[in-house]
Structure formats: C-alpha cells, structure tokens
Amino acid sequence: MSVFRLFLVSLLAACYGPVGPEIYSTHISCHWNDGYEDYMWIFQVWVDHPVHPSEVDEVSAFLYDYDGNIFTVPMEYSNATLWKNIPRQEDTPLNCGEWYFIDFAAVDKYGYHDYNRSNY
C-alpha cells in the first residue's frame, strides 16, 4: 500500500504547475480630449487568473522610448478582468505619435507573474 501512495504522490506532484495571472489582451491609444484640452493616453490590460481574477495583485506598464528612458504606468483595477489607467499627457513624459516599447506585467498575491510585450 505504501508503494501505491508514493506513486500517487509522485504522479500528483509531477502534474502540478503553478497557477498565475495571464495577460490575454492589451490596448494602448492616445487621443485628443477637448474637455481637458490635452491628449489622453489610454492603457487597458485584461488579466485573468485560474483561481479567480481577484487573485491578481498588481498590473503595470513599463514604457521605453528609443533612448532607453523608462516610464512606469501603474494600472488600477476596473472590473472583472480589466485593469486600466487614463492619464493626461501633461502628467506624463509621453508624447502622442512617438514610438514606445511597452512591457505589461501582472503579479498575483503569491508572486507568480505574466509579461506581455507590445509597442505603440
């Protein structure tokens, strides 16, 4: 009987994989807003988690320009699986129409993470 238990434990341990957040969609855009008389950046990230979306603890976007400068945009939880941030351009070092590399990162409560690379 103990050999069977050892086999069963070994089998279950081999099948176990960490469950972590999954970034399954992203959206980046920049638009003129007449009300603010400024450009508005729109960052949206959809993150799911195998256990429950509430297990996702933090989502951020890291923007790199061609000179290697980095700007971090922390996302705020919106609803279900959507995290977003909509800053005014004057509150960022970003310029509408310029190219950026963007790394999105999602981290859950247990330290598991997912990354997604995009560009704008």
| 80, part of any domain | yes
> Any idea which residue has 């960022």 for tokens?
92
Task: Give the residue ranges of DSSP H helices in the chain.
Answer: 2-15
Whole domain around residue 98: which residue ranges? Answer: 20-119
Q: How far apart are CA 11 and CA 26, in angstroms?
A: 37
Q: How far apart are CA 112 and CA 80, in angstroms?
A: 19
| 8, part of any domain | no
Q: How far apart are CA 41 and CA 33, in angstroms?
A: 10
Q: Could you report the per-residue pLDDT of 28-57, keeping only the tens digit for each?
A: 999 999 999 999 999 999 999 999 999 999
| 52, part of any domain | yes
Question: Quick one: pLDDT band at residue 11, thresholds 50, 70, 90?
Answer: very low
| 1, part of any domain | no
What pTM value is reported for the model? 0.81
| 5, part of any domain | no
Q: Which of 42, 45, 51 shows the shortest CA–CA distance to 105?
A: 45
Q: How far apart are CA 97 and CA 39, in angstroms?
A: 11
| 13, part of any domain | no
Q: Could you tell me the CATH number of the domain that includes residue 88?
A: 2.60.40.1930
Q: How far apart are CA 11 and CA 96, in angstroms?
A: 53
Q: How far apart are CA 77 and CA 118, in angstroms?
A: 20
| 58, part of any domain | yes
Give the model's pLDDT for residue 68.
Answer: 87
Estimate to the nearest angstrom the gap between the alpha carbon of 45 and the chain centroid: 6
Q: Could you report the per-residue pLDDT of 77-108, keeping only the tens digit for each?
A: 999 999 999 999 999 999 999 999 999 999 99
Question: For the chain, how many structural domains are there in total?
Answer: 1
| 71, part of any domain | yes
Give the model's pLDDT for residue 66.
Answer: 86
